[in-house]
Structure 1
Amino acid sequence: MSKTRLAIQSLPEAVAASVLTQQADRFADLMGRAGADPTLIDAFTPMAERIFLHPDETPRRTLLAAGEANARLGETLLGAIFPRVAALLEEGWNTDRLSFVDVTIAATRLQDAVRQLGRFVLPVQADALVMIVPPWEQHGLPPSLAASRLRRMGMPTRLVSGLPARQMLALIARTGPSGVLISVGSHRSAAKLRPLIGALRHQLQRVLPIVVGGPAMEADSALCRLSGADLATNDLAEALSFCDLALGSKALHQADVDA
C-alpha cells in the first residue's frame, strides 16, 4: 500500500465522510506497520484537519478508536498530528480559508479528542504540575495540547479550566503540586492576571513557583512578565527547571521533536 495514497491534493473541497473514514483506517494501518514515519504524518495532517472540520462523527470515531487500540498510534496523534491540525486551523483563520465557526467547532472537537485519547495513552500519576486556564479565558486547545505533551513526557499535569476562581484556587491548594502554569490567550487576558496570582499566593500554604505562558507570550511578553508571576515563558525546559522539576534526557529529546 503506497504512502502517497494519503495525499489529498486531488480530492474535492467537500470530502465525503466515507472517504475520510477510509483514510483514517489506512493511516492507522500504515502507522502500525511503519511507526511514526514523518512522511506519513505530513501526508495525513491535512486529511486529519478535514476529519475535525467534517460534521459527520464517523471519521473522528474511527481515528480515535484506532488510537485507543494502539498506544503507539495514540502517542503519534497526541504528539504530532493533533498539534499540526491545531496549527492548520490557526492558519486557516488567519488567511480567511476557514470561518470563525469552522475553527471554533473544529478546535472544540480537537480538544475533546485530546482529552478522550489521553485517558488511554497517558500514565495516571500524582500531579506534579497544575496548568490553569483562567475563568475568563475562551481558549482551551493550546493548554490541552501542552498538558498532554507534558504527560507524555512523564510529567504528571492536571489541567484546570472552566472553574470559578474560588473553586480553582481551592482545588490547587488540595492538589499540592510542585508548580503552577497559567495559560493566557491574549494581552487582555494577561492584564487580568495580577489579582488571580495574588489570590493564589494567599490561598496556598506554601510557596509555589508560578509560571505564565501561552499564546499571549507571542503577542505581548512584556505584559505577561508584569503579571506578578515568577516567570513568563513558553520554553518548556525553562519552566520545568524553574519549578525544580527535571525530565530525563529521552523526555527532553522528545520535547524537541514535538516542538
Structure 2
Amino acid sequence: MQEFQPLNQVRALAGDTSGVSFFASQVVSLLADRSAKSVVEPRETLVTGLMTASLSGTKAAFAELLTEVKRARISLAALADVYIPIAARRMGQAWHDDEMSWIDVTIGVGRMQSLLREIGTAWVADQAGDTGHGTVMLIVPDREQHTLGPMVATGQMRRYGVSVCLRIAPSFNELRSLMAARHFDGVMISVATKEKLESVTKTVQFLKTIMDKPTPIVVGGAVMSKVEDPASCTGADFSSNDIGAALEVMGLKFDAFCVLKRA
C-alpha cells in the first residue's frame, strides 16, 4: 500500500466537480423514472467506466459514462446502491494491492460521494416534512476516511420515505440536543474499523442514558466483515448491513424493502 498524501494536496486536485455536476443533471432525468430490475451480474464496462470518470473528473469522461449508462438501461437505484459501492471497493482494493495511489483513491471516491449527493436530490423524504414513514439518526464516527457507505444507506432510506438525520462525528452535547428536540424511531451507527468500536461503545452507552424511552440502536458498516457480532461488542441492540432488516428492528417495515435487494 502506498503512503498517504497531504490533505491539502488532495483537496486541490479534487476541486473540479464540473464533470460530476454534468453527469448528475443528465442521469437523474434519464433514470429517475426507471423501476429497479434484477441484476445478476453488474456490467463490467459500467463499473470500469465509473472508476475512469471518477478519477478523471472531466465532462468528457462523464459523457462517455453517460453513454454506457444509457446502453445498460439500469435504474437510478442501481447506480447508487450497486455500481458506486462496487467501484469504490475496487479502488480501495487497488490501493491495497499497490495498483493505485491513496490520493487517486481519495479523489475518485470523493467524486463518487459528490455524485451520490447530487443524484440524492431526486429522493426528497427530508424535504417533505413528516412523511409518516419514520425518522432515523445515522451517525458516522469521528475520523472516518470515507463516508460513501453511510451516504448509500441514507439514499436508500430516503427513497422509501424515511427521514434521515445524518451526523458526522457529533459531540455528546449535539446528540443530547438532537434527542431532546426530535423523535427518532431508531439510531444507526456506521463503523468502518475495529479500532472505532471502543468509541462507538461509549456513544451507545451515552445514547441509552439520555433516551426518554427505549430506541433501537443498530451498528453496521465495513466492520461487519471484521467482527462477528458488533452489537454485542458495543451494547447496541442489533448489527446488520441490511437496511431493510435494520429498519424492521425499529418497527419500520415496508413492502418496498424487497426492492432494496434488486438493482
Matched, 1:129 2:131: no
Q: Does 1:256 align with 2:245?
A: no
Secondary structure at the residue paired with 1:234? Answer: coil
Of 192, 200, 207, which residue of structure 2 is paired with 1:193? 200
**Secondary structure in structure 1 of the residue aligned to 2:234:** coil
- 3-state SS in 2 of match to 1:191: helix
> Aligned partner of 2:157: which letter?
L
2:107 equivalent in structure 1:
105
Q: What CA distance in whole angstroms lies between the structure 1 residues aligned with 2:108 and 2:65?
A: 15
Q: Equivalents in 2 of 1:111, 1:94: separation in Å?
A: 20
Q: Distance in 2 between matches of 1:190 and 1:238?
A: 21
Aligned residue for 1:86?
Answer: 88
Could you tell me which runs of 5 or more consecutive residues in structure 2 were left unpaired when the two chains were aligned.
Answer: 1-18
Separation in 2 of the partners of 1:222 and 1:180?
17
Query: How big is each residue's C-alpha offset from its partner over 1:171-200, in whole Å with a ceiling of 9 and x where there is no partner?
Result: 244231100000011111012222111211
Larger RCO: 1 or 2 (CA < 8 Å, sep 6+): 2
Q: In the superposition, relative to structure 1, how do residues 137 and 203 fare at CA in structure 2: closer, same or farther (>3 Å)?
A: farther
**Once structures 1 and 2 are overlaid, which stretch shifts more, 155-164 or 171-180?**
155-164
- 2:6 is aligned to none
How many residues are aligned here? 227
C-alpha change, 1:116 and 1:62, in structure 2 (3 Å) is farther
Using structure 1 for the length normalisation, give the TM-score: 0.73
Match of 2:232 among 222, 225, 229: 225
Q: Does 1:243 align with 2:245?
A: no
- TM-score (ref. length: structure 2): 0.72
**Structure 1: gaps (5+ residues):** 1-19
By how many angstroms is 1:246 displaced?
Answer: 0.4
SS of 2:87's partner is helix
Give the C-alpha shift of residue 144 in structure 1.
0.8
Distance 1:63 1:154 in 2: 29
Q: Matched residues, percent identical? A: 25
What CA deviation, in whole Å up to 9, does each residue of 1:75-118 have, x standing for no partner? 44323332232232233223322221111122222112211220
Partner SS state of residue 98, structure 1 = coil
Deviation at residue 153 of structure 1 after TM alignment: 3.5
Partner of 1:155: 162
Find the counterpart in structure 2 of residue 213 from structure 1: 220
- C-alpha distance 136-164 of structure 1, shift in aligned 2 (>3 A): farther
Q: How far apart, in 1, do the equivalents of 2:168 and 2:107 lie?
A: 18
Q: Would you say the 8 A contact 2:139–2:189 is kept in 1?
A: yes
Moved over 6 A (4+): 61-64
Is 1:128–1:156's contact at 8 Å kept on the other side of the alignment?
Answer: yes
Partner of 1:138: 145
**2:47 aligns with one of 42, 45, 48:** 45
2-structure distance, mates of 1:212, 1:185? 10
